[in-house]
Amino acid sequence: MNFHQALAALQSHAAALEPLRARDFFARDPVRFREFSVEIDDLLFDFSKHKITAETVRLLIELARARNLEARRAALFAGEPVNNTEGRAAMHMALRDLSRRPIQMGGVDMRPEIEREREKVLSFAQSLRSGAVKTFGGERFTDVVNIGIGGSDLGPAMACRALSPYRSEGPRAHFVANVDGADLADTLSSLDLSRTLFIVSSKTFTTQETMANARSARARVVAALGEAAVAQHFAAVSTRLDKVAEFGIAQDRVFGFWDWVGGRYSLWSSIGLALAISVGPENFIAFLQGGFDVDEHFREAPLEKNIPALMGLLGVLHRNVLGRAAHAVIPYDQRLARFPAYLQQLDMESNGKSVRRDGSKVETETGPVIFGEPGTNGQHAFFQLLHQGTSVVPIDFLIAAEPVESDERHHELLFANCLAQSEALMRGRTLDEAKALLTGEDRAPEEIERLGPHKVFPGDRPSSTILYRRLDPRTLGRLVALYEHKVFVQSVIWDINPFDQWGVELGKELANRLAPIVADPSRATADLDASTAGLIGWRRATAG
Ligand SMILES: O=P(O)(O)OC[C@H]1O[C@H](O)[C@H](O)[C@@H](O)[C@@H]1O
């Protein structure tokens, strides 16, 4: 069966399911939860609340086979140049491969080099935590500020927050990303520069925002502590060691990685330095272990029991068969507050594409809009649309079975809320049920008629639940890797390259062209379009 036949088969299958109600599937099938859930150790993926049958899963797997998912997965893990537009492998998995197997890339075993660099990161992190690495004034560092953006910010920022209870004696980690000077200013306002280490994180070491923030931070350190303090108060993470040297950061404070690690996949590399400093080497290794566990699962589990494959394929069902343009990720876990933002880059920068790997136009819709906020907060904000809006938004709910620290029973309320939402979305409420409810409240007949339609919930709103024992380092590693592979699976179905990001280039080019015009009021704007010229003109007339 080719791709189009497989897609057509899914379409007619979905049309046949259309009139049925998800709630009836549960009523009819007492083992539905068991049939549509998969575990990896103490992590469970429940996808029973999608309106699917065993036949849906079978057809989705046929679609995956029509795109050679298994062979493409093997090529990914074999270090082949799957990033075909840049001629590179995408081997972030090598960074968390804690086996003893050689890691072949272009005929070379990369394991020794990877382990050497990791050792360097972890030993620096440990020395900073223990106080062996000292400030210019000979004291302990109390704070680290990671200066980076995109993949050089979101991963460590998300992870440091997620694992904050594991920080113990480590310095506090802060993150500055935006070129808006307010970001650096607000972050530094509460810090003592004489006790602060800056980590300049940039794969390319050319990113405008990061370089501007790094220069400003350097100037502040020089003003406060003198030029001689720079060596002690700066470290860098990059693949471009030549450019780091130009910036003047001491060699033993520079941590490298490789061009086969994409920015949004780089948390496992030296880019994780702020995380390693924050939670310590042992927890950092546990985080890698979680990612490695998922790699083994993704490589070995049959597709119908393979969590990232199922996550990806369910997304394809919603996007390509049922026309759903958005996807929400709602962690009922406050410490995962930055996880949706992290996933926005991972998913939308990877799969927000319109051409296939060979440059021809895509045949189907590609990546959905990803958004999310922690529950329960979201319930009191945008969940109205999820329950009763005209667009159906598939959702991933994430929740721990137990809190990290004892919390006077808050977690039970949190858990109940999470399950209540997915149940309400799936079950819905019919007009008859709404009217019966109003009757039970002793409402007048005309009020029952008037309010009834407002209290109807269509139901059949699909969600998956990822339930894990607790948000520890290994679990965080598993969560990140699950989504990485989910994104990969979808890219295979859509036949796009998820490892490049040409779509961010044009804006960068234009910003570089506009910057001197913005900075110099005497520069002509006549060559610009009328809107851009008008906005610059208005600023020139208005700004002080
Ligand atoms: O790490 P850097 O080279 O500074 O790049 C930071 C970020 O900027 C780019 O524009 C890319 O879109 C991102 O994928 C990348 O993570």
CATH assignment at residue 60? 3.40.50.10490
Tokens 């948390």 — which residue? Answer: 267
In terms of domains, do 305 and 191 share one? no
Identify the band that residue 74 occupies on the pLDDT scale cut at 50, 70 and 90. very high
Ligand 1 binding pocket mutation candidate from 92, 176, 204 (most atoms within 8 A of CB)? 204
Residue 197 domain-assigned (yes or no): yes
Q: How many domains does the chain have?
A: 3
In terms of domains, do 323 and 251 share one? no
Ligand 1 binding pocket mutation candidate from 92, 147, 158, 203 (most atoms within 8 A of CB)? 203
State the Cα–Cα distance between residues 373 and 332, nearest whole angstrom. Answer: 9
In terms of domains, do 312 and 271 share one? no
Residue pair 258/240 in contact by the 8 Å Cβ criterion: no
Which residues, other chains included, contact 189 with Cβ-Cβ below 8 Å and sequence gap of 6+?
none
Cβ(498) – ligand 1 distance below 6 Å? no
Cβ(156) – ligand 1 distance below 6 Å? no
The domain boundary residue, chosen from 222, 251, 282: 282
Cβ(421) – ligand 1 distance below 6 Å? no
pLDDT tens track for 452-476: 999 999 999 999 999 999 999 999 9
In terms of domains, do 189 and 221 share one? yes
β pairing state of 254-256 and 234-238: parallel
pLDDT score for 370: 98
What are 480's two structure tokens?
């990140």
Residue 176 domain-assigned (yes or no): yes
Residue 25 domain-assigned (yes or no): yes
In terms of domains, do 191 and 333 share one? no
Cβ(207) – ligand 1 distance below 6 Å? yes
Residue 266 domain-assigned (yes or no): yes
Q: Specify the pTM.
A: 0.97
Residue pair 383/341 in contact by the 8 Å Cβ criterion: no
Distance 270 CA to ligand 1 centre (A): 15
Query: Which of these, 201, 199, 203, lies nearest to 233 by C-alpha position?
Result: 199
In terms of domains, do 485 and 508 share one? no
pLDDT tens track for 183-198: 999 999 999 999 999 9
Residue 437 domain-assigned (yes or no): no
pLDDT score for 25: 96
pLDDT score for 406: 84
pLDDT score for 246: 85
Cβ(152) – ligand 1 distance below 6 Å? yes
β pairing state of 254-256 and 326-332: unpaired
State the Cα–Cα distance between residues 143 and 481, nearest whole angstrom. Answer: 28
In terms of domains, do 277 and 310 share one? no
Check residue 450 and give left, alpha or beta (phi > 0: left; psi -120 to 50: alpha). Answer: alpha
State the Cα–Cα distance between residues 394 and 227, nearest whole angstrom. Answer: 54
State the Cα–Cα distance between residues 238 and 200, nearest whole angstrom. Answer: 8
Q: Where are the alpha helices (DSSP H) in 266-409?
A: 273-279, 281-300, 307-316, 339-343, 350-351, 383-388
Peptide bond into 376 cis (omega under 30): yes
Distance 97 CA to ligand 1 centre (A): 24
What are 543's two structure tokens?
């700004």
In terms of domains, do 228 and 200 share one? yes
Cβ(352) – ligand 1 distance below 6 Å? no
In terms of domains, do 261 and 410 share one? no
* 200, β-bridge pairs: 147, 236
Whole domain around residue 520: which residue ranges?
504-542
- Active-site residues: which are they? 349, 380, 508
Name which residue sits closest to atom 13 of ligand 1, judged by CA.
150
pLDDT tens track for 79-99: 999 999 999 999 999 999 999
Query: Which of these, 266, 233, 259, 231, lies nearest to 245 by C-alpha position?
Result: 231
In terms of domains, do 396 and 508 share one? no
